[in-house]
Amino acid sequence: MKQLLLVFLGGGAGSALRYLISKYLNPVHMGIPYGTLAVNILGSLLVGLVIGLALKTNPISQNTMLLLATGFCGGFTTFSAFAYENQVFLRSGDFTSFAFYTLGTLVLGLAAVFFGIWVVRYF
């Protein structure tokens, strides 16, 4: 039950922060949703940092991993918004934004995870 509560608390905090960031960074009219892009990249970086710490000397407990990686990052990042926004690009015929947003999110997200792991490993 404690682990479920940790995921719940982390997820709630992550979701609330995602809402605030998206509210201020996503354009009112459709364009590149920079807020969603930012939270997905920042969340990927945080997961990389958490994983890096866990791999370095195993200082992170399972409960901390559940709170930060599963809960906070799971609530903070959003695949559903990413998928919806891409569907809007495709439906409107904006294939350029679709391509940049999709590739940018995937490439930058993966790079952020690896960068986070690298930062912890070498610093």
| pLDDT tens track, the chain, 123 positions | 999 999 999 999 999 999 999 999 998 777 899 999 999 999 999 999 999 999 887 778 999 999 999 999 999 999 999 999 999 999 999 999 999 999 999 999 999 999 999 999 998
Amino acid at 63: N
DSSP state of 93: T
Backbone φ and ψ for 106, nearest 5 degrees, come out as -65, -50
Ranges of each domain in the chain = 36-122
Element (H, E) at 30: none
Residue 57 structure tokens: 């000397």
pLDDT at 56: 87
pLDDT at 73: 97
- 73 burial level (CB within 10 Å; 0-12, 13-18, 19+): buried
Q: Give this prediction's pTM.
A: 0.93
pLDDT at 27: 82
pLDDT at 11: 98
pLDDT at 62: 92
pLDDT at 19: 96
CA angle in degrees (0–180, nearest 5) for 8-82-29: 115
